[in-house]
Amino acid sequence: MAESKNILSEERDGILYLSVNRESKLNALNFATLEELRIIFEEVVDNKNIKAVIITGSGEKAFIAGADISEIAELSELNARKFAENGQEIFSLIETCPKPVIAVVNGFALGGGCELAMACHMRVATAHARFGQPEVNLGIIPGYGGTQRLTFLVGRGKANELMMTGDMIDATEAKSLGLVNHICETKEDALKKSEEILRKIMSKAPLAIGMIVDCVNAVYTSNEDGYQIEANSFARCVKSGDYKEGTSAFLEKRKPVFKGE
């Protein structure tokens, strides 16, 4: 894994642990940190040793408290469009990653931080986590896909309310809305819960896991026929060695050993 200035990374037992490490700035996403995320996730796809990813923020106060306001304040209309498109592209890499990605949300997940968490496949929050898209307080809107992903996750009415008011919600409300999968008391507990989920997923067929990502994402892509993608993906699974191993193991009453091929 390439060295990063703003993101701590460690790989253990197939799980890549990423921690946005700008604690003095509440882990705000600046241009450099976003570019580091791009490089990391481009490598994750091709790195056979990495089976899953956990993303969190350094410290206890914040997961990521938003984008770097000092950089946003310098935007013009032209580079603002590029700013948004760049962030959308990087978060799409996370959303379409064929390996499971869980956000462990400790503290504030605001603006770009909430958008990053929503781009992950699942979210496990600490009890003191807070979520929000407060961009209207700066005279702007979410630009890294937040208007789309928040609407898909919580519904049109609540998404409009949260983005128009800029209000924050706590972990309990976030879970009730479907924004959060699980709530744990502490960050350590949330990491353990995420590891538990990922180890279970990692015991399954890797090709099938990646295809589930594709099929689920197709639900939210207007120009995609999700049913056809599902049928095509099902057929590709049947061509794989994992399919032969999975069915043989079931019939032989043993645990399958999947190789991702």
Q: The dihedral of CA 90, 85, 112, 8: what is its sign?
A: positive
- Measure CA of the first residue to CA of the last residue in the chain; give whole Å: 23
Placement of tokens 């959060």 in the chain: 180
Question: CA dihedral in degrees (158, 160, 164, 166; nearest 10)?
Answer: 40
Q: Which residues contact 245 (CB under 8 A, 6 or more apart)?
A: 205, 256, 257, 258, 259
Catalytic residue positions?
Answer: 115, 135
Give ∠ CA 23-28-34 in degrees, rounded to 5: 115
Taking Cα atoms as reference points, which of 39, 43, 50 lies closest to residue 12?
Answer: 50
114: phi then psi, degrees, rounded to nearest 5: -65, -40
* The pair of three-digit structure tokens given for residue 226, joined into one six-digit string: 């999700």
Long-range residue pairs from 176-182, CB within 8 A, at least 24 positions apart, any chain: 177/153, 178/153, 178/154, 179/118, 179/123, 179/131, 179/150, 179/153, 179/154, 180/105, 180/123, 180/124, 180/125, 180/129, 180/131, 181/122, 181/123, 181/124, 182/124, 182/125
